Homo-oligomer: A and B are copies of this chain.
Amino acid sequence: MNLRIPGPTPCPEPVLKAMSKQMINHRGPEFKGILERTAERLKHFFQTRNDVFVLTCSGTGGMEAAIVNTLSPGDGVLATTNGAFGDRFAEIVEAFGAKVQRLQFEWGKPVEPEAVQKALQADPSIKAVLITHNETSTGITNDLAAIASVVKRAGKLVIVDAISSLGSLDLQSDAWGCDVVVTGSQKGFMSPPGLAMVSFGDQAWAAHKQAKMPRYNWDFTKYKSFQARWETPWTPAVTGVYALNTAMDMMMKEGLPQIFARHARVASVAREGVQSLGLSLFGDLNYASNVITAVRATDGLDPKKLLAVLETEYDVIVAGGQSKLDGKIFRIGHLGWVNEKDIEDLIKVLKVALPKAGYKKV
């Protein structure tokens, strides 16, 4: 199977092999060593000196953890959103009773730093700003550095959903002033889903001390005290940690700049490839994501039919559109364990599959 959705992404053989290692005591010396090595090396990928915690949950659990550890009901929160995942972040903070102002941008357009700045000036009660680094639903990468800079100048908390970006796209947590950054195991980290990783900085800890949203399972006070002896408060997904650690071995060997460059090259192959077939890209090309490419369904193309044809006839899996983009786009994931050849092959398959899905232009 050629799995080209934006997560779970295919896992390299050594990562899968690590998943099949036998259980050990999650509070014994061997696992402590593995957890220390994992949490310490994650700092390199987060480009941070902050604490990084490994949670057993999906990315959404990590987003909820980021919120309940920093905020109180009634707190003013600016939720920037230009897609389905920005909306989800806003929904989480609303569910926990924050006073949310949604700063919405058209799907396919980027979040504008100037608009964030204006919103912060207009409402000084805002305490935190939620930012989706890479909006997987539209294939847009927001200019996190510029947005975070505006937020930090206003002295507010920067809380980042970096689930589909971290480990694939440059994200300088400390240099850019990101207080809380959430990512997951099943995207750039080439590991199975089941772990979220969250970095938590000094300003986040200060907010944490005042934060009154109810929390138990996600409580970072507990995570920090257990991590001091390289344990997690609750039984972690032991095999997931084995896998993540193995994936990081491979990623350290390749090097962060090389990983970012590879994703940029692969994204170029994807963008040029679909355009060579006469298709057009969805969204603002200046912000086109290097981890996922969203393609408009034009010229008779039925994207649902395309997904079915690709799966049944070619064993290739791409993603459809989410929410308001359902039936209007399809999306090619190219993050994690992927190279130029993988996407060149995919474009070749698309060339023969597209006409079977109604596309008239090839």
Q: Are B193 and A235 in contact (CB under 8 A)?
A: yes
Q: Which of A28, A58, A59, A311 has the most CB of B within 10 A?
A: A58
**Cα distance A214–B94 when bound, in Å?**
9
| CB-CB nearest in chain B for A219 | B95
- Asked if A84 CB lies within 8 Å of chain B CBs, one says no
Contact of A3 with B25 at beta-carbon distance under 8 Å, contacts A56-B194, A234-B58, A237-B237 already known: yes
- Asked if A256 CB lies within 8 Å of chain B CBs, one says no
| Chain A to chain B contacts (Cβ below 8 Å), 7 pairs | A10-B23, A11-B22, A16-B22, A17-B20, A24-B317, A91-B216, A184-B235
What distance in Å separates the Cβ of A59 from its nearest Cβ neighbour in chain B?
7
Q: How many residues of A contact B (CB 8 A)?
A: 54
**Cα distance A345–B233 when bound, in Å?**
31
Contacts of A22 in B (CB 8 A): 1, 3, 10-11, 16
In A254-283, which residues have CB < 8 Å from any B CB?
none
Copies of this chain per assembly: 2
Q: Are B60 and A214 in contact (CB under 8 A)?
A: no
- Asked if A186 CB lies within 8 Å of chain B CBs, one says yes
Q: Are B7 and A24 in contact (CB under 8 A)?
A: no
**Cα distance A213–B95 when bound, in Å?**
9
The proximity string for A residues 124-138 relative to B, scoring 1 for CB distances below 8 Å and 0 otherwise, is 000000000000000
- Asked if A92 CB lies within 8 Å of chain B CBs, one says yes
Q: Are B26 and A193 in contact (CB under 8 A)?
A: yes
What distance in Å separates the Cβ of A79 from its nearest Cβ neighbour in chain B?
13
Q: Are B23 and A9 in contact (CB under 8 A)?
A: yes
Q: Are B23 and A214 in contact (CB under 8 A)?
A: no
In A159-200, which residues have CB < 8 Å from any B CB?
184, 186, 192-194
The proximity string for A residues 1-37 relative to B, scoring 1 for CB distances below 8 Å and 0 otherwise, is 1010101111100001101111111101000000000
Contact of A193 with B19 at beta-carbon distance under 8 Å, contacts A1-B24, A25-B317 already known: no
In A228-246, which residues have CB < 8 Å from any B CB?
233-240
In A53-107, which residues have CB < 8 Å from any B CB?
56-61, 63-64, 73, 91-92, 95-97
Q: Kindly identify which residue among B23, B28, B58, B61 contacts A186, using a CB–CB cutoff of 8 Å.
A: B23
